[in-house]
Amino acid sequence: MRKYAKKELFIKLLCKDKYYIGNKKHTIQLYKKYLCLYAKHGKCNATMLFEITTCRNPLFYINRGFTIVEASEIIKKIQSRGINFYDGDDTQIKARVKKREETFLSKTPVELLEINSKKGKGWSVDYIAAKYNICLKDATNIINKRRLQKVHSYKSRLEAIGGYKREWSCRCEEYYKERGIEDYKTILHNKFDTRSISSIMRRLSIDQNAANLVQSDINQKCKNVWDQKTDEERKDITIKRTKHFKKYSKSSHRFFEQLSHNISYKNKLTLLYGELEYFLWDKENSKLYFYDFVIPEIKLIVEYNGVIFHPREHDSWATTVHDSILKDNRKKEIAEKAGFTLIYVWENENLKLAKASICNIINNIYDSQSN
């Protein structure tokens, strides 16, 4: 086997570090360091070469007279790009933002589209599998490892600066209020609205037909990601999306407040309604169904149906009769599968009689179970 010359070995090492490829000035300096290390140790590998030259390695600063603490602080500033560690002077940050704006303004619509199409691919299982020619399971493990590293790095930086501050994030009102920007609501709306046709047209500078294609591609990618989730992951995501939504009306809350006062055994039962609204998971459709009033101990559900949101078959004025009935039937089916009995109360019926009837039912069921 032919023995490699020093230059050939150096070129092989150089190809492993993306920061030096194509940079002639740094390549010459690096080659001189390579020769020095080779003369001193009789060998030189990638670790020996780059640990004394990279500005993200403590040895780079220690060899130049800095202490380990000073080296650590410098590296933190470099890794955070100065955003989380600046001392009040944001001149450098503004310069970076201006430079970035100038860079993107010089791009054509086609180039911008290509740049945006690459964003987030590092978190795609299919992309990682194709890039490294590995199976989907190995690609998933790589992504999970990246997530853990990212979380650890983020928490470490927060601890170093004494916690998170909302005025740092351009997704918070405080960020714009601190800078005296009054129209922050419009800015935040545009920032969070990433999937609408108008948003895609504005961000990518394309016409409506092209935006329709981009939107279809986004929706398909979201569907692919959702399909890869396990049932438990889908359930957790759905709960997080809906836990802050108000899913009950004022009239229903008032009705159940009065009902709860009339139940004889209310101190021995768990009454779930209002903010404590109970839900069941529809595994087949990956959907949550919330129920108005639930007593888990006796497996009883009371549904309060407003005529606007829950029309009956003879309410032909409603445009959503068919869909509403299908949804209510599915809710009933899921509840009965879980062993619950359902009672329906309609907004336009005699509510006094309904309360008395439900109280009797609850008391009778509890008495029979106790005996």
In this predicted model, what pLDDT tens digit does every residue of 213-236 receive, in sequence order? 988 988 888 888 888 888 888 888
**205 belongs to a structural domain:** no
Can you read off the two tokens belonging to residue 334? 């899921």
Cα distance between residue 351 and residue 348, in whole Å: 8
Dihedral sign, Cα of residue 191, residue 196, residue 199, residue 204: positive
Domain-ending residue, one of 50, 79, 108: 79
The DSSP code for 169 is -
Dump pLDDT digits (tens) for 139-163: 899 988 888 888 787 777 777 767 7
pLDDT value at residue 83: 40
Residue 181, beta-bridge partner list = none
**286 belongs to a structural domain:** yes
- Domain extent, residue 58, equals 1-79
pTM for the predicted model, two decimal places: 0.44
**113 belongs to a structural domain:** no
Residue 294, beta-bridge partner list = 272, 301
Can you read off the two tokens belonging to residue 236? 């957790």
For residue 128, count other CB atoms closer than 10 A to its CB: 20
Q: Which residue has the tokens 């990433």?
A: 194
Number of domains in the chain: 2
Domain-ending residue, one of 79, 113, 147: 79
The DSSP code for 320 is T
**182 belongs to a structural domain:** no
Domain-ending residue, one of 30, 46, 79: 79
For residue 190, count other CB atoms closer than 10 A to its CB: 14
**35 belongs to a structural domain:** yes
Cα distance between residue 110 and residue 89, in whole Å: 36
**98 belongs to a structural domain:** no
**23 belongs to a structural domain:** yes
Q: Which residue has the tokens 């101990």?
A: 297
CATH code, domain carrying 354: 3.40.960
pLDDT value at residue 27: 67
